[in-house]
Amino acid sequence: MKEYQKNLLWGTANMFNNPRYMHGAGTSCNPDAFAYAAAQAKKAIEVTVRLNGSGYTFWGGREGYETLLNTNMGLELDNMARLLHLATDYGRSIGFKGAFYIEPKPKEPTKHQYDFDASTVIGFLRKYGLNMKLNLEANHGTLAGHTFQHELRVARTEGYFGSVDANIGDLLLGWDTDQFPNDVYDSTFAMYEILKAGGFTTGGLNFDAKARRASFQPDDIFISHIMGMDTMALGLRMADKLIQDGRIDQFVEDRYAGYKSGIGKKIVDGTVTIQELEKYALEMGDVKTNKSGRQEYLEGVVNQILFG
Amino acid sequence: MKEYQKNLLWGTANMFNNPRYMHGAGTSCNPDAFAYAAAQAKKAIEVTVRLNGSGYTFWGGREGYETLLNTNMGLELDNMARLLHLATDYGRSIGFKGAFYIEPKPKEPTKHQYDFDASTVIGFLRKYGLNMKLNLEANHGTLAGHTFQHELRVARTEGYFGSVDANIGDLLLGWDTDQFPNDVYDSTFAMYEILKAGGFTTGGLNFDAKARRASFQPDDIFISHIMGMDTMALGLRMADKLIQDGRIDQFVEDRYAGYKSGIGKKIVDGTVTIQELEKYALEMGDVKTNKSGRQEYLEGVVNQILFG
Amino acid sequence: MKEYQKNLLWGTANMFNNPRYMHGAGTSCNPDAFAYAAAQAKKAIEVTVRLNGSGYTFWGGREGYETLLNTNMGLELDNMARLLHLATDYGRSIGFKGAFYIEPKPKEPTKHQYDFDASTVIGFLRKYGLNMKLNLEANHGTLAGHTFQHELRVARTEGYFGSVDANIGDLLLGWDTDQFPNDVYDSTFAMYEILKAGGFTTGGLNFDAKARRASFQPDDIFISHIMGMDTMALGLRMADKLIQDGRIDQFVEDRYAGYKSGIGKKIVDGTVTIQELEKYALEMGDVKTNKSGRQEYLEGVVNQILFG
Amino acid sequence: MKEYQKNLLWGTANMFNNPRYMHGAGTSCNPDAFAYAAAQAKKAIEVTVRLNGSGYTFWGGREGYETLLNTNMGLELDNMARLLHLATDYGRSIGFKGAFYIEPKPKEPTKHQYDFDASTVIGFLRKYGLNMKLNLEANHGTLAGHTFQHELRVARTEGYFGSVDANIGDLLLGWDTDQFPNDVYDSTFAMYEILKAGGFTTGGLNFDAKARRASFQPDDIFISHIMGMDTMALGLRMADKLIQDGRIDQFVEDRYAGYKSGIGKKIVDGTVTIQELEKYALEMGDVKTNKSGRQEYLEGVVNQILFG
């Protein structure tokens, strides 16, 4: 890797394909599978350290259930946390300085995965005191019913943004298609969130994408990566233009300005009582100060930036 | 209510229909709307106390966003927590002893609601230190991509189970149909979770359901409530039979038995090291102890109980 | 097969897995693939005749498109009909007396399949004058947004009901899970439609189902087939009870009784003019004769039959 | 209308909101409702003729069912055709020269509508010999599981393209949001199909769209219409550029070129026998002539055109 001046973005271990993980890895009902997973994660982290990887990602490919009829959800969640503690603590103990990532995905191949979406994973990490960040894939977000931008927004708002799998899905299909990104709206909104998060302070952009089955010629591998990366690059430039343009950010700034003074500031500062708010409401009579949310205007601004 | 020996299950306030809440209540960009919502919640809690209500429910009908283009998600989440703290603290201050509930719903009428599902709400309550329980509606769970049983299982596993809105939806339709429950599988699994949670230690069963548009005759109101309640009652009897039968519970007990001794117990007790697990795995060679998850057998047991 | 007194329900050919069919078989952009598919179908029909099969099924596994950007839909539809004409005409020419089936499926693995659902396939068969029937799979119906009962109802109403693949899906998952049927409501409604269609005048019930990945022990094969077949058998008994009970059929009979006399009969007989209908409506003033659709009552009747 | 030089695109009648249509209009179980609907359609067509409307659209808002338990699907379909025959014949008899449209929609408010999608409606029109065209709405297509481009492609391929309702939906929401179009990819692909259909030989573009609830100020009406119309106008320019550029059309032309000579031409001309195809296949050995479908390349071409 030195020879080609390449760095390892992150290491990982596949702990779901092999039959030994049919019931999960950290969440397996079988302690032997848990032990094997721990050993495999230990080795993969050691290799990542040796390759000077800047991150390590936990996929949760079978950390979930097929049917609640045979599942002890509480034990499985606790055990998943136990595995992650063992592995991340070990990583730190051998000098790994990079970020640990967990990658949300709601389902497939299992009926339900515990790493459902960004919000669910963040709740899990907080509950169990795990110091990890999120590696977000567009396609996993949409399978959970969210836009990719939503998942990124949640992660940056909560301080858990880490890295990005750029593969997209097809919103009319219900499985993980892992297509190369080709929609510049989506890449623009994704890059907007990443820029607002301060950029990739850890992590980066990776393609776990596959060219379609019928794109089977060798040059399709180049073409699809070029198309995908061009989409992300154009998204970055468009996101920068959106921010430079300033209309959207200013609109949001103005929209919440009421919380910077008066009763709004007291609400945010926590210095208001409910009695005071009631008195304020009674004197006000009714809310007369709502302004339009201007969704269509803002959508028009986006089109002006993208196609202007 | 005394006269008819009825008790109030829970009080609530509608803070989404009126145009003043077009941008949300606690999550409105307009502090005037926040203040109005606080006043309304205060009054509704007072009335609930006066009526001796055993609970108070927060619906989050517009606590979400229509477009991320105009949304400050961080401030909105913080403000939602502020409103809930103000209201629940006030309730306690005037002697309210009942449970405070929050009712998850992922969307509709808004594009996205912060109370997405049980996991998301529990994460939110933990983050902000709010002492509330969940009021779960079947239809809201399915709109979020979960079975009703899943939502109840999450809530009881995490210790947040509170109360139940029994309305169901149609899994092939993407909106909140609020139908009367008519599927005994679903009511059995729901009642199974409720029994396992120790029953309704707070809360109860309520129907926020509507007879279909074409069921417009006065007796349809009776018929639909009778059908819905019969479905839940039959579900309760079937859930009890499932538990008395014991095969399913015993299967789950046996399935995770490996965590009660040996390496499994050490994993659960937190006394194992990752080095020890690696050694164990290397000696083991590969996982040879997996047993079938028996999903089809267990589904057959359910049918035997229901139709036997 | 003679030895074991088994008969072949239907023969078929897999014309989608092999890379030669990456662009479809009858709908391939490559005439070589079309020719290969024709040869393969010819052979499979010959084998079916030799085995005295009572039917022959065309799966349309890749008869669709991945992207409209590279697709000539008109030519593909015409060619699909050409292949079916060639194959079915050939079958008749060598003495095949059984039914030809086409199996609707909306998607997976392709983005879109031309055999989308029962209605779409029936429209296609009528347009191209193809004498085939439908082999309906529950899971394919639900992927297209329909209940299995809907697909069967459409097929029997239009006179195209043929055979049944009993595999079910999970309505909260967006791919073809091919699970063994375990829901007695669904099997009851399916069997009700089949009985109303006069039973299996051709075709039969087959399981293209798979036990879940974790149900890997040899006896799971028996258990899952037993559970699946028991579900269908119980559905048949329940459907018969529904019909014997008579309440539902009588309700439907009464509900449309207005079309048996007076203005209703004239509408059905085609002897009414629009002027006459207008005159009738003006004299009537407004519609005062609507009665409740009694959905909840009928759902209650179903539960009484199933659990009574 | 003369005064302002406006022409009426199409007339219609709302035959679903009023309680008289609770069971449908043409598909009502009540002949009185059928008669009322016929009278209403007669009047609306007369008014359309008087206003010199260039089309008349049938919405099927409740032409479907809520539950199959109370539904006679065969009679309902026949009656829907009877109403359409009565109404369209009457229109012609009073000199209406414009197009009659039917607007597909799969569901909402009913559980299932007979006008499910373009393919289903075309099959229905053919079966009953109705001379009508389709008025396609983007949002209805996506609710049925199709892209808008798919619906337009089906309609033009089958010769049933008529007019367009430009409202879009949100693919992550399951109801008819009727938003103003804001995605230039979608408007480009829609306009591409319309141009390929020869443009609007009948019909035109209409917005049945609504600004979002929070876009309540008077100028939002202007802004949203401007944004929506700009999106369609930009789509038209981009579609024209796509066609002028020629790469995509040429790719499709080349992809199917095999059907213009040799065995391919014989397949299309219907002069080939299945024996001949088998002989051809056997000599060929296997298909060696497949070429990549180039999906990612074509997606890149689209981005070059849109953002070049």
Query: What is the predicted pLDDT for the residue at A4?
Result: 81
Confidence of residue A174 (pLDDT cuts 50, 70, 90): very high
Residues B60-97 have pLDDT tens digits of 889 999 999 999 999 999 999 999 999 999 999 999 99
Is the CB of A263 less than 8 angstroms away from the CB of B147?
no
Give all chains having 3 or more CB-to-CB distances under 8 Å with chain C.
Answer: A, B, D
The radius of gyration of chain C's CA atoms, rounded to the nearest angstrom, is 23
| Contact between D231 and D138 (Cβ < 8 Å) | no
* Chain A nearest C-alpha distance from B39 (Å): 4
Closest among B109, B110, B137, B108 to B121, alpha carbons compared: B137
Burial state string for B118-146 with b = 16 or more CB within 10 A and e = fewer than 16 = bbbbbbbbebeebebbbbbbbbbbbbbbb
Is the CB of C214 less than 8 angstroms away from the CB of A174?
no
Which tokens go with C285? 């003033």
| Contact between D67 and C298 (Cβ < 8 Å) | yes
Residues A126-139 have pLDDT tens digits of 999 999 999 999 99
With both helix axes pointing from N to C terminus, report the angle between D118-127 and C118-127 in degrees, rounded to the nearest 10.
50
Mode of pairing for the β-strands spanning D205-206 and D161-165: parallel
pLDDT over 80 (residue C140) = yes
Looking at every residue in chain D, the average pLDDT score rounds to 97
Give the separation between CA A242 and CA C178, rounded to whole angstroms.
Answer: 46
Q: Who's near C145: CB < 8 A, 6+ residues apart? A: B172, C117, D106, D107, D144, D145
Instruction: Map tokens 């692909």 to a residue.
Output: D189
* Chain D nearest C-alpha distance from B191 (Å): 26
Q: Who's near A157: CB < 8 A, 6+ residues apart? A: B73, B74, B77
Does the interface predicted TM-score (ipTM) exceed 0.85? yes
Give the separation between CA D215 and CA D274, rounded to whole angstroms.
Answer: 62
Closest among A133, A90, A143 to A112, alpha carbons compared: A143
Give the separation between CA A242 and CA A240, rounded to whole angstroms.
Answer: 5
Q: Which residue of A has its CA nearest to B113?
A: A146
Give the separation between CA A165 and CA A135, rounded to whole angstroms.
Answer: 7
Edge-to-edge strand ranges of the sheet holding D11-12? D11-12, D55-59, D99-103, D133-137, D161-165, D205-206
Q: Quick one: average pLDDT of D267-289?
A: 98
| Residue A270: C-alpha distances to residues A257, B78, B132, B189, C91 (Å) | 17, 11, 20, 43, 81
Which tokens go with A52? 């000077």
Is the CB of D293 less than 8 angstroms away from the CB of A214?
yes
Residues of chain D contacting C280 with CB distance shorter than 8 Å: 35, 39
Expressed in percent and rounded to 5, the helix, strand and coil fractions of chain D are 50, 10, 40
Residues of chain B with pLDDT under 50: none
Q: Quick one: average pLDDT of D274-292?
A: 98
Closest among B87, B4, D233 to A267, alpha carbons compared: B87
Question: At CB < 8 Å, which residues of chain A contact C?
Answer: 19, 22-23, 66-67, 107-109, 111, 143, 170, 172-175, 212-214, 216
pLDDT over 80 (residue C3) = no
Residues C256-307 have pLDDT tens digits of 999 999 999 999 999 999 999 999 999 999 999 999 999 999 999 999 999 9
pLDDT over 70 (residue D1) = no
Residues A72-124 have pLDDT tens digits of 999 999 999 999 999 999 999 999 999 999 999 999 999 999 999 999 999 99
DSSP C158-197: HT-EEEEE--B--TTSBS---BPP--HHHHHHHHHHHHHT
Which tokens go with D163? 């007019």
Q: Quick one: average pLDDT of D193-209?
A: 95
* Chain D nearest C-alpha distance from C83 (Å): 9
DSSP chain C: -TTTT-----EE---SSSGGGTT-STT-S-HHHHHHHHHHHHHHHHHHHHTT-SEEEEE-TT-EES-GGG--HHHHHHHHHHHHHHHHHHHHHTT--SEEEEE----SSSSEES--SHHHHHHHHHHTT---EEEEEHHHHHHTT--HHHHHHHHHHHT-EEEEE--B--TTSBS---BPP--HHHHHHHHHHHHHTTS-SS--EE------TT--SHHHHHHHHHHHHHHHHHHHHHHHHHHHH-HHHHHHHHHTGGGGSHHHHHHHHT---HHHHHHHHHHH-S--------HHHHHHHHHHHHH-
pTM: 0.98
Residues C226-267 have pLDDT tens digits of 999 999 999 999 999 999 999 999 999 999 999 999 999 999
Query: What is the predicted pLDDT for the residue at D60?
Result: 87
pLDDT above 90 covers a percentage of chain A that reads 97
pLDDT over 80 (residue A1) = no
pLDDT over 70 (residue D233) = yes
Within a 13 Å sphere around the CA of A96, how many CA atoms are in the beta-carbon half? 28
Residues A219-275 have pLDDT tens digits of 999 999 999 999 999 999 999 999 999 999 999 999 999 999 999 999 999 999 999
**Three-class secondary structure of residue A273 per DSSP:** coil
Residues of chain D contacting C172 with CB distance shorter than 8 Å: none
Q: Residue type at A86?
A: L
CA B213, B214, B217, B222 torsion-angle sign: negative
Expressed in percent and rounded to 5, the helix, strand and coil fractions of chain B are 50, 10, 40
Q: Quick one: average pLDDT of D274-294?
A: 98
Is the CB of C66 less than 8 angstroms away from the CB of A175?
no
Out of A143, A173, A213, name the one closest to residue C107 (CB): A173
pLDDT above 70 covers a percentage of chain A that reads 99
Which tokens go with A129? 């005191």
Give all chains having 3 or more CB-to-CB distances under 8 Å with chain A.
Answer: B, C, D
* Chain D nearest C-alpha distance from C30 (Å): 6
